[in-house]
C-alpha cells in the first residue's frame, strides 16, 4: 500500500535525560531518516495510549531526534514512565520551520518560557553548528521556579561559554536557591532592552507570555518582519486534514507552527 500520512514508523528511545521535575528529553532513533529542519515537529505514539505532537529539540543532521516533553496528560504521563530501549511510533516531520536561511547574517535574540525553549533549542544548536552564518546570540529564558528550568547544562554551562552568546535566565517567583533575576520574561526583556538593529527575535512559550513578549518587542522598536514565533494548538493529524488546528484559513500544523509577527497581525482569531 502507498504510504499513508497517519501511519508511523518505529523508533527506539536510546537515551532519557531528566530536565526538571516534569520534563524529560527523549532521544529517539527512528527507523527511517526524518530529516527535519529547525522548528519542525513530529507526532510520537505509544501504541494503546495515543499520539501527541512535539517539537524536535535537536538540530538537523544528527542520527537521533530529541523531544523534550512535559508531563501533562494521557500520552505524556505514560511517556514519562518508559525506559531506554523502548519502542515508539513516530511520524513527521511536520510544519514549516524557522527561517534559518532568511535570517543569515543577523543577530539572533531568543526568548523562551518554560517548555517553549524546546523548539528554540533546535535553532540555537543549528546556529552554533553554523556559527559563521549568524552574528551575536542572546537568550532570555524564564520558568516558574528554578526547578522548572530545562536544559540546565546548556543554559548554565554550554551556551554561556560560547563566544558572543549572552544567556539571561529568570524565574517568576523568589526562591531560596535562586540569586538571579526574578520576574516574568516580558518584564526581563524590557529591562534588558536588546537593540533591534540587525536583529531577529524568535520566541516561544505559553500563550500569555508570547502575547506580552510580542508587545514588548514592538515597544523596543522591533518591526513585524523582525519577530518570529512558534505557536501551539491542539493537533491530531499533523497534516492539515483533521481540521483541528485552524487559525483563520491557516492550519498551524501545516502552515505553521512558525509565523512572522507580520503574518500574525493579519490573523483575526485569538492565538494567545
Partner 1 sequence: MNTVVKCHSVPKLLEVLKELTDDYQIYCPVKQDDTETFLPLEQIEQDELLTVGEILSKNEPPLYSIKSFLFPNSEVYLKFRRNHDKVDFTVHSQQPEPTIVIGGKPCDVESFDMIDKVFLQEPVDTFYKQKREQTIFITSICTSKGPNCMCEEFGVDKSEPKLSDILLIESEKTEEKSDGIYLKGVSEKGTKLIERLAELDGLQKVDNSPNLIEDKEEIEKLCPEAIKDKMEKLYDSDIWEDLAMRCLGCGICTYYCPTCHCYDINDYSRKGEGVRYRSWDSCMFSDFTNMAGGHNPRPTKADRIKNRFFHKLNYFVKQQGPLACVGCGRCAKNCPVGISLNTVLQKIGGQNNGK
Ligand X SMILES: Cc1cc2nc3c(=O)[nH]c(=O)nc-3n(C[C@H](O)[C@H](O)[C@H](O)COP(=O)(O)OP(=O)(O)OC[C@H]3O[C@@H](n4cnc5c(N)ncnc54)[C@H](O)[C@@H]3O)c2cc1C
Cα–Cα distance, 35 to 45 (Å, whole number):
19
Cα–Cα distance, 169 to 203 (Å, whole number):
14
What strands lie across the sheet with 9-20, from one edge to the other? 50-55, 41-46, 87-94, 9-20, 23-30, 65-70
Among 237, 253, 258, 261, binds partner 1 (CB under 8 A): 237
Residue (196 or 256) nearer to ligand FES, CB: 256
Residue 118 near which of partner 1, ligand FES, ligand X, none (CB within 5-8 Å, type-dependent): ligand X
The dihedral over CA atoms of 198, 204, 206, 207, expressed in degrees to the nearest 10, equals: 60
Cα–Cα distance, 272 to 268 (Å, whole number):
12
Tell me how many degrees the CA angle 114-118-122 measures, rounded to the nearest 5.
Answer: 150
Residue 99 near which of ligand X, partner 1, ligand FES, none (CB within 5-8 Å, type-dependent): none
The DSSP output letter for 153 is I
Q: Does residue 20 belong to the site contacting ligand X (CB under 6 A)?
A: no
Helices and strands (H, E) in the chain, number of each type: 6, 15
Q: Does residue 107 belong to the site contacting ligand X (CB under 6 A)?
A: no
The answer to whether the beta carbons of residues 246 and 236 sit under 8 Å apart is no
Q: Does residue 115 belong to the site contacting ligand X (CB under 6 A)?
A: yes
Q: Does residue 236 belong to the site contacting partner 1 (CB under 8 A)?
A: yes
User: Is 204 assigned to a binding site?
Assistant: no
User: Is 41 assigned to a binding site?
Assistant: no
Binding region for partner 1 (CB under 8 A) out of 18-26, 120-128, 137-145, 229-237: 229-237
The contact set with partner 1 (CB under 8 A) reads: 1-8, 45, 47-51, 70, 72-73, 85-87, 89, 206-207, 232-234, 236-237, 239-249, 268-271
- The footprint of ligand FES (CB under 6 A) covers 235-238, 240-245, 251, 253
Q: Which residue numbers belong to the known binding site for [2Fe-2S] cluster? A: 237, 242, 245, 253
Footprint on this chain of ligand X (rule: CB under 6 A) = 41, 50, 52-55, 68-70, 72-76, 115, 118, 232-235, 257
Amino acid at each position: 500500500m502507498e504510504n499513508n500520512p497517519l501511519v508511523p514508523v518505529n523508533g527506539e528511545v536510546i537515551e532519557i535525560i531528566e530536565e526538571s521535575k516534569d520534563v524529560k528529553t527523549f532521544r529517539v532513533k527512528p527507523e527511517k531518516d526524518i530529516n527535519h529542519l529547525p522548528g519542525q515537529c513530529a507526532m510520537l505514539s505509544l501504541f494503546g495510549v495515543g499520539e501527541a505532537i512535539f517539537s524536535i529539540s535537536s538540530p538537523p543532521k544528527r542520527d537521533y531526534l530529541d523531544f523534550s516533553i512535559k508531563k501533562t496528560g494521557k500520552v505524556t504521563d505514560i511517556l514519562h514512565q518508559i525506559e531506554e530501549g523502548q519502542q515508539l511510533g513516530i511520524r513527521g516531520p511536520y510544519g514549516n520551520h524557522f527561517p534559518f536561511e532568511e535570517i543569515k547574517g543577523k543577530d539572533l535574540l531568543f526568548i523562551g518560557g518554560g517548555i517553549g525553549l524546546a523548539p528554540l533549542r533546535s535553532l540555537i544548536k543549528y546556529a552554533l553548528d553554523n556559527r559563521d552564518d549568524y552574528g551575536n546570540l542572546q537568550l532570555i529564558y524564564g520558568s516558574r521556579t528554578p526547578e522548572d528550568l530545562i536544559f540546565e547544562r546548556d543554559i548554565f554551562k554550554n551556551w554561556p561559554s560560547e563566544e558572543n552568546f549572552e544567556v539571561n535566565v529568570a524565574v517568576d517567583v523568589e526562591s531560596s536557591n535562586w540569586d538571579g533575576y526574578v520576574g516574568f520574561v516580558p518584564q526581563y526583556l524590557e529591562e534588558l532592552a536588546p537593540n533591534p538593529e540587525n536583529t531577529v527575535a524568535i520566541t516561544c512559550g505559553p500563550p500569555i507570555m508570547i502575547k506580552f513578549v510580542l508587545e514588548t518587542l514592538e515597544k523596543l522598536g522591533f518591526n513585524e518582519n523582525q519577530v518570529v514565533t512558534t505557536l501551539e494548538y491542539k493537533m491530531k493529524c499533523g497534516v492539515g486534514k483533521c481540521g483541528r488546528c485552524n487559525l483563520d484559513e491557516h492550519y498551524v500544523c501545516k502552515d505553521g507552527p512558525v509565523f512572522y509577527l507580520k503574518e500574525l497581525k493579519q490573523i483575526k482569531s485569538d492565538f494567545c
